Amino acid sequence: MPMPPPKASTERRDRQVFHEMGQILRALETEGPQPPQRLAELIGARFWEHDRYERAVALAVADGLVTRTADGRLAAP
């Protein structure tokens, strides 16, 4: 019996977003919890394509790689 196809997804992930998520996680592991704006500065997100930083953060949070603290900072779990 063949395996069922994977569930349809509206999100498209490419290699670049996995790389970006890795940059976010490494920065948080190195520097500790950061406000989103400061994290963007640390990783040079201003040089990324439009909305890539926000997307990478959202996916990292959704995947459990990054958490949001009570005061709104981003942190490695």
Amino acid present at 50? H
**Is residue 10 over pLDDT 70?**
no
Per-residue pLDDT, 8: 46
CA-CA distances (angstroms) from residue 73 to 5, 10, 14, 19, 76?
37, 27, 26, 21, 10
pLDDT at 65: 96
Choice between 6 and 70, residue whose per-residue pLDDT is larger: 70
